[in-house]
Amino acid sequence: MADTVKLTIDGHEVHAPAGMLVIDAAKLAGIEIPAFCYYEGLTLQAACRMCLVEVEKMPKLMTACTLPVAEGLVVRTETPQVAAARKYMLEFLLTNHPLDCPVCDKGGECELQDMAFRYGAGESRYNETKVHTPEKQYSPVVFFDAPRCILCYRCVRICNEGMGVNALGVVERGAVSEIAPNHGDHLECDECGACIDICPVGALTSGIYRYQTRPWEMTHVGTICTHCSDGCKTTLGTRNDRILRGNNRDRSGINGEFLCIKGRYGFDFYDHPDRLQAPLMRVNGKLEEVSWAQALAAVAEKFKQTIGAGTFGIVGSNHTTNEENYYLQKFARSVLGTNNIDHHRTGDVVTLVDALSGKSGALATVADLCERKAFLVLGADLALEHPLLSYQIRANYRHHQAHVYVVTPKAVREDKYAAATMRGRDYESLRDKLKAQPELVILFDDSYQGGELRKLVDFGESLGIPVRYVCLVDYANSRGAIDMGLTPELLPGYQPSGQSGLHLDEMLAAELSVLWVVGANPLENAARKSGFLVVQDLFLTETALQADIVLPAACAYEKNGTVTSGTGEVQRLKRAIETMGAKPDLEIIGFIAREMGAAAALGPWTPDAVFEEIRKNVRGYDVAMPALSTGGAAQTMPVNGRVAVPGPAGLVRSDRNGLFASGTLGRYSKVLNSVLESRLSR
């Protein structure tokens, strides 16, 4: 443990670890020292001068944000001199500030307002003209209103240090200094909006949220991003059943305050005009709107007729909840009597679980990314495909100098700070360097599957150091789909299903009596072969267009349940808004079961009840409820024991969405399609 030093802050004796800054040590004693530019995790600036405190034996006021604690230090944070410094610092800040709080997006949650309220003077002594510059748009996402900027440089730092993008800088100097894109007059960056959220004032505003509402008029709902498998928590601000913004300013999730463009703004597909509002049924060759009752009755009828008389195929989803997936496979296996169930696999988790059988703790968690000392990144362009994981490894490097090794087909952002980087697949040449590390986390994409993946695990296990693995998968519940047994060969919890059914490609090729697609678009580039096609989806996708019956489904932000991130954290989705017409897939499946008279055998179809069953029946999911139910993440631990039936080769295909695409959903997101970079990256 680090040495502890004893100091006095406002008369309280504080014991703080050596090296800690006075501003943080004060927090230990419950004393808040005001700050704008100091921001945990980012480099020190000492620019805003809000944190000035009196220190005994020092002639001048000192910035608590740069002063390390020292034995016997005597600090005072509330003397008249300190109070005056704060008051006048705010006076300086407000000289050129437009004070347009009534129309400012930040009004109500603005740090400058809060500070002025607590420490500021009641009146202004400033009688001169203010510097005014017109508002600028830097991208469809990022707007900048220079007069509101207090130059705390948080945006510059989060972009450069946090995101590794370095898109923002400062131009000019003195009172006309301005935050500006480093790329001329516009941004070319990740468009993540981290700069906007970190801005203490309303200088950076978002093209999606600006001028929509006042913050206090919204309801804030913490849920999980429905795009990639990284599992970021996003807090949706809603009003009148409309989602107005996403952020995670309370840092409550596994992602802290991190979100990429999809988590922060990519919710907008939910009210796309093409969203399905009512069930559709094919009448005389054309899809026509029908009532839920009609549609459900027709599906139930068809299913009942087919049981025992024909063949079923079920395609599940990478986006639906664990409860929905579990319920769907249970329905398939126990009511429809088939193992013909699969989904679009985007990473070879099954082979990894098999190759690691007998070992515990070999699957890396998201915490490992922040803490472990060495990483080997294989294949993936993490910054584009797994933005959170990339962010965490970068933070680990910045704070703990993690050693990162990169073996990828093309240049990646990690190259910049990697201990070694190479193009191709020759990770074995890193053997000596890796052996010298105390521990290692290996992250690999779908280009490592089957035999290649077994070779990789053999390599990892031969290094003689603790090695953990992350099998990168694409979507919000890709991992949960496998864990919940949406595969013909495995039941929930990686238990062999006995007699394997048809896998995805076989089902699409076979002339099945009924194909039931729940939240997927497997026929995007293919014609249907099945006799009857039922599709549950948000949109009339290429697959839905070929259906006999289409049931409009709720999206992740419109329902409750749980999803499991690629690194195995199970987290809760919380309904943020009500839907018109569409229903959660779990409900739809339940209603079909009820219509068929099979509901009793399946049990209730509420998310809580199904999750209880998952906790009991699915290996690894017996997680503690308190964290989960309060919006935290619970770690699942599936690995232990051999998976007897490895999946067939070639089934695993990542969509390689990058930052500005997200499978079918991404096509319906205005923001993802509007940013310059999404065109550049195509």
CB of 135 to other proteins, least distance (A): 20
259 binds, among ligand FES, other proteins, ligand SF4, none (CB under 5 to 8 A by kind): ligand SF4
Out of 164, 207, 263, 485, the only residue in the binding site for ligand SF4 (CB under 6 A) is 263
Whether 678 and 384 have beta carbons less than 8 Å apart is answered as no
CA pair distance 196, 201, nearest whole angstrom: 9
Q: How far is CA 320 from CA 266, 338, 541, 561, in A?
A: 17, 20, 16, 9
CB atoms within 10 A of CB 494: 27
Cβ closer to ligand FES: 36 or 448?
36
Give the whole-angstrom CA distance, residue 562 versus residue 231: 11
Neighbours of 129 (CB within 10 A): 7
Q: Which does 154 bind (CB under 5 to 8 A by kind): ligand SF4, ligand FES, other proteins, none?
A: ligand SF4
φ, ψ at 223 (rounded to 5°): -140, -170
With tokens 């002025």, the residue in question is 116
Q: Which stretch binds ligand SF4 (CB under 6 A): 222-230, 515-523, 553-561, 639-647?
A: 222-230
Query: What are 629's two structure tokens?
Result: 């139910």
- Using CB distances below 5 to 8 A depending on partner kind, what does residue 38 bind out of ligand FES, other proteins, ligand SF4, none? ligand FES
SS3 224: strand
**15: Cα within 13 Å, side-chain hemisphere:** 3
Q: CB-based contacts of 383: which residues, under 8 Å, 6+ apart? A: 164, 190, 390, 412, 413, 414, 659
Give Cβ neighbours of residue 587 (< 8 Å, ≥ 6 apart).
605
Q: In what order do the strands lie in the sheet with 286-289?
A: 286-289, 280-283, 549-552, 532-537, 514-518, 312-315, 341-342
Q: Is residue 115 part of the contact set for other proteins (CB under 8 A)?
A: no
Give the nearest distance from C-beta 47 to ligand SF4 in angstroms: 8
Contact 259, 247 (CB under 8 A): yes
Task: Kindly state the smallest distance separating residue 49's Cβ from ligand SF4, in Å.
Answer: 9
For ligand SF4, which residue of 231, 607, 620, 631 counts as binding (CB under 6 A)? 231
Q: From the list ligand FES, other proteins, ligand SF4, none, pick the one residue 61 interacts with, judged by a Cβ distance below 5 to 8 Å according to partner type.
A: other proteins
Q: Is 452 helix (H, G, I), strand (E, B) or coil?
A: helix
Q: Which of 63, 110, 120, 118 minimizes the C-alpha distance to 90?
A: 120
Distance from C-alpha of 23 to C-alpha of 501, rounded to nearest angstrom = 61
Are 534 and 548 in contact by the 8 Å Cβ rule? The answer is yes
Q: How far is the CB of 95 from other proteins (least distance, A)?
A: 5
Residues facing 179 on adjacent strands: 170
> Interacting stretch for ligand SF4, rule CB under 6 A, among 88-96, 227-235, 360-368, 579-587?
227-235
Contact set for ligand SF4, span 616-675 (CB under 6 A): none
Kindly indicate which of the ranges 30-38, 84-92, 430-438, 513-521 contains the residues binding ligand FES, using the contact rule CB under 6 A: 30-38
Contact yes or no for 558/579 (Cβ under 8 A): yes
Residue 125 or 682 with smaller CB distance to other proteins: 125
Q: Which helix (H) or strand (E) holds 195?
A: helix 194-198
Q: Of these, 70, 83, 103, 176, which contacts other proteins (CB under 8 A)?
A: 176
Q: Is 93 in the site for ligand SF4 (CB under 6 A)?
A: no
When binding is defined by CB under 8 A, the residue of 10, 24, 91, 461 that contacts other proteins is: 91
Of 133 and 294, nearer to other proteins (C-beta) is 133
Binding at 85: pick from ligand FES, other proteins, ligand SF4, none (beta carbon under 5-8 Å per type): other proteins
Residues 129-168 as x/- pattern, contact with other proteins by CB under 8 A: x-x------------------xx-----------------
Could you say whether residue 47 binds ligand FES (CB under 6 A)? yes
Q: Among ligand SF4, other proteins, ligand FES, none, what does residue 163 contact (CB within 5–8 Å per kind)?
A: none
Under 8 Å between Cβ of 607 and 601: no
**How far apart are CB 32 and ligand FES at their closest, in Å?**
12
β partners of residue 171: 178
Q: How far is the C-alpha of 522 from the C-alpha of 287, rounded, in Å? A: 19
- Residue with Cβ nearer ligand FES (38 or 591): 38
Name the one residue in this structure whose structure tokens are 């864990």.
483
Q: From ligand FES, other proteins, ligand SF4, none, which one binds at residue 606 (CB under 5 to 8 Å depending on kind)?
A: none
Taking CB positions, which residue lies at the least distance from ligand FES? 65
Residue 44 touches other proteins, criterion: CB under 8 A: yes
- Sort 27 into a burial class: Cβ within 10 Å, 0-12 / 13-18 / 19+: middle
Output 48 or 470, the one with its CB closest to ligand FES: 48
Pick between residue 35 and residue 504 the one whose CB is nearest to ligand FES.
35
Instruction: Name residues whose C-beta falls within 8 Å of residue 661's C-beta, 6 or more positions apart in sequence.
Output: 655, 672, 678
114 near other proteins (CB under 8 A):
no
Out of 101, 170, 367, 599, point to the residue binding other proteins (CB under 8 A).
170
**Binding of other proteins by 172 (CB under 8 A):** yes
**Three-state SS for 675?**
coil
Closest distance of CB 232 from ligand SF4, Å: 3
Q: Which does 576 bind (CB under 5 to 8 A by kind): ligand SF4, other proteins, ligand FES, none?
A: none
Instruction: Give the one residue of 10, 24, 28, 46 binding ligand FES; rule: CB under 6 A.
Output: 46
Residue 522: name its binding partner from other proteins, ligand SF4, ligand FES, none (Cβ under 5 to 8 Å by kind). none
**Residue 201 binds ligand SF4, judged by CB under 6 A:** yes
Q: Does 227 bind ligand SF4 (CB under 6 A)?
A: yes
Q: Does 259 bind ligand SF4 (CB under 6 A)?
A: yes
Q: Considering the rule CB under 8 A, would residue 367 count as an interface residue with other proteins?
A: no
| H or E element that contains 625 | helix 625-629
For the sheet with 569-573, list strands across it. Answer: 561-564, 569-573, 634-635
Residue ranges in 65-124 that form contacts with ligand FES under rule CB under 6 A: 65
Determine the residue type at 265. Y
Checking 539-543 for CB contacts under 8 A at 24+ apart, the result is 539/272, 539/274, 539/275, 539/276, 539/664, 539/668, 540/274, 540/276, 540/280, 540/287, 541/664, 543/517
Residues 127-156 that bind ligand SF4 (CB under 6 A): 149-155
Q: Does 85 bind other proteins (CB under 8 A)?
A: yes
Measured from the Cβ of residue 178, the count of other Cβ atoms closer than 10 Å reads 18
Residue 513: CB minimum distance to ligand SF4, A? 37
275-334: contacts with ligand FES (CB under 6 A)? none
- Site residues (vs ligand FES, CB under 6 A): 35-38, 46-51, 63, 65
Query: In the complex, which residues of this chain contact ligand SF4 (CB under 6 A)?
Result: 149-155, 179, 198-201, 203-204, 225, 227-228, 230-232, 255, 259-260, 262-263, 387-388
Contact residues: other proteins, CB under 8 A = 44-49, 52, 60-61, 66, 84-85, 88-89, 91-93, 95-96, 125-126, 128-129, 131, 150-151, 169-170, 172-177
